[in-house]
A = this chain, B = another copy of it.
């Protein structure tokens, strides 16, 4: 197999040879078709002749769904006795904007992604490129290969599942995931209150509306805290339903 790849490398252009070896260094396997990966690492901000055809947005669309399935399958097997609500919560802890951007940074995708974005390390384009990369692997190697790669090289490498299981801090993102799953609308409405009884200390109150109906209310010293507290209550109500 390796010999086969080496023979193929002999006939590549120098730039292709380099990219091929960079991909091997990044992924730990030899790709079959580097075209998919070039596309995954092309951001729409580049002034290409045919943006839609050459940028990574379509691959991001595909990769997003593939990641979702792989994680659903992984959690389904890992927790054979946990209810659906627990699995949904765990999935939202693994896949979210922040975690995708962090994985992309840890994989140094900023050195692979071609774009005209100035501070690429602080941009969602990196997490999107990671989704596109998973879309590229799926097209290149199929579902089963991508699943094995993702579990071994991403989940088991970058996530502490036990920690996530016991860390329920981000209730807001959990709640958003739960409502998205149920195709409900959600809104966080926050107010500032001056508590005269408590040295005029500012307190925030957040009310969560689900499908336009008030669902849970809580307060906190910052807007973020009030949102988290109200989300925690809402998650508990949903879990008890």
Q: Which residues of A contact B (CB under 8 A)?
A: 52-53, 57-58, 60-62, 64-66, 68-69, 71-73, 76, 81-84, 87-88, 96-97, 138, 142-144, 147, 176, 180-181, 183, 185-189, 209, 212
A176 touches B183 (CB 8 A): yes
Consensus secondary structure, chain A interface: helix
- How many copies of the shown chain assemble into the complex? 2
Closest CB in chain B relative to A135 CB, distance in Å = 8
A83 touches B57 (CB 8 A): yes
Closest CB in chain B relative to A83 CB, distance in Å = 5
Contact of A68 among B65, B82, B96, B185 (CB under 8 A): B65
Question: For the complex, what is the distance from the CA of A60 to the CA of B180, rounded to whole Å?
Answer: 15
Contact of A84 among B57, B81, B88, B142 (CB under 8 A): B57
B81 touches A61 (CB 8 A): no
Hey, which chain B residues are within 8 Å of A83, CB to CB? 52, 57-58
A and B contact pairs by CB, cutoff 8 A, 19 listed: A52-B81, A52-B82, A52-B83, A53-B81, A57-B83, A57-B84, A58-B76, A61-B72, A61-B88, A65-B73, A66-B72, A68-B68, A68-B69, A69-B69, A97-B183, A142-B144, A176-B185, A180-B180, A186-B186
Question: For the complex, what is the distance from the CA of A158 to the CA of B21, rounded to whole Å?
Answer: 45
Contact of A96 among B76, B142, B183, B189 (CB under 8 A): B183
Nearest B residue (CB) for A84:
B57
Question: For the complex, what is the distance from the CA of A95 to the CA of B85, rounded to whole Å?
Answer: 21
Also in contact, A84 and B65, with CB within 8 A (given A185-B188, A188-B212):
no
Nearest B residue (CB) for A183:
B97
B183 touches A185 (CB 8 A): no
B61 touches A87 (CB 8 A): yes
Nearest B residue (CB) for A172:
B185
Closest CB in chain B relative to A155 CB, distance in Å = 15
Considering residues A58, A71, A83, which has the most beta carbons from chain B within 10 angstroms of its beta carbon? Answer: A58
Closest CB in chain B relative to A156 CB, distance in Å = 19
Also in contact, A62 and B58, with CB within 8 A (given A52-B83, A183-B96, A185-B188):
no
